[in-house]
Amino acid sequence: MPFPLNFFLPGRMQRQHMERLQLLCGEHRPEHEEELEKELYQDARECLTLLSQRLGSQKFFFGDAPASLDAFVFSYLALLLQVKLPSGKLQAHLRGLHNLCAYCTHILSLYFPWDGAEVPPPRQTPVSPETEEEPYRRRTQVLSVLAGLAAMVGYALLSGIVSVQRATPARTPGTGALGMAEGDEEE
């Protein structure tokens, strides 16, 4: 996420998903996150197993022609097969269900043809500090700091916390040309 958004969006997203989980689980929602995570993984594994049983050896869920359910299920399964996740438990379970993997491979080769019919490996992200998404990350951070600094200085000046007074330079006796110019002005 870009610089200013990374401070408040993750918390907001977590609260939204926790509210959604509370609506889904209702009153029986486990209090500890570990219990909730185990329960969610168990439900997801059970769902994948049921989908595998429903698909059986068919090409699509409702016979030989794809339906909207196939598009919906494929969108989740292909994503789950492709994305590198922090915990690969669910991904490993899906890879163990060979008919669902073959189902994804079949749809990919049918509707998204490329050189190989296999599911492509996940894209490797560049290791460089600046990714393609944020090539000007450092510039954005520096500009944000400068804008913040300018706002603070402006506030300090306008509110009177800091005041700037103009002082007249002290005259030193015996300065050459400067002393003569001042003497001429006084006469």
129, pLDDT greater than 70: no
pLDDT tier for residue 151 given thresholds of 50, 70 and 90: very high
Please name the amino acid found at residue 10.
Answer: P
CA-to-CA distance for 17 and 9, rounded, in angstroms?
12
Q: Which tokens go with 142? A: 């520096």
Q: What is the CATH number of domain 31-112?
A: 1.20.1050.10
What pLDDT was estimated at residue 51? 92
Closest CA to 33 of 44, 18, 46: 18
The structural domains of the chain, with segments of one domain joined by +, span: 31-112
3-state secondary structure (DSSP) of residue 63: strand
| Mean pLDDT, all residues of the chain | 78
Per-residue pLDDT tens digits for 82-107 = 888 777 888 888 899 999 999 998 88
| Average pLDDT rounded to a whole number, residues 145-158 | 90
CA-to-CA distance for 148 and 3, rounded, in angstroms?
13
Closest CA to 152 of 161, 139, 164, 142: 161
